[in-house]
Amino acid sequence: MTVGVLFVCTGNICRSPMAVGVLRTVVQRAGIAHAFEIDSAGIYHGHAGQPPSLLAVEVAARRGYDISDLRSRPLMPEDLARFDWQLAMDRTHLVAMRSMAPGDVADRPQMFLKFAPDLGVRDVVDPYGGTTEDYERALDLIEAGCAGLLKHLRETLEGMAAGTGPVPAPR
């Protein structure tokens, strides 16, 4: 059994691809990549099929995350039924995800930065159109969120292995 993690942002060309790159890398380094399906999507369909923004690729690569193979795709209701963990980069994404989700899973989408409460922020601000520093700040938040998420996902996997079932997503 795999644990599905879906990151959602606006156009799926900055924040959510960077989050995919970070989480894929950290679970690979932890030796548990086989246990995950990690993907991303956007609530805006205008970038469908496009690669991540050049600055997102460059900033991620400088920190060891290769996101150059990713392509933007729109968020679909099926995604919200399929993925165990549906993580919004900001509150507007959370609202869109919950309104799009099938009724039985409408409460499943969560704020990504719930996993980094010590940061004191809820949203990963969109760096699109900004400076390299804006992308660096976004990636700082994403790395912190992925560290907290990995800790929680490890607990989930341990619970599954012990037969106590998956640890539910925080509400």
Q: Is 90 a catalytic residue?
A: no
Residue 168: which residues within 8 A CB-CB, separation 6 or more? none
Of 24, 79, 126, 146, the catalytic one is: 126
Of 14, 15, 39, 146, the catalytic one is: 15
Q: What angle in degrees, to the nearest 10, is found between the helix axes of 15-29 and 54-62? A: 30
Of 9, 24, 79, 146, the catalytic one is: 9
Q: Is 14 a catalytic residue?
A: no
Burial class for 34, CB neighbours closer than 10 Å (0-12, 13-18, 19+): exposed
CA distance 94 to 124: 12
Q: Is 126 a catalytic residue?
A: yes
Catalytic residues, by residue number, are 9, 15, 126
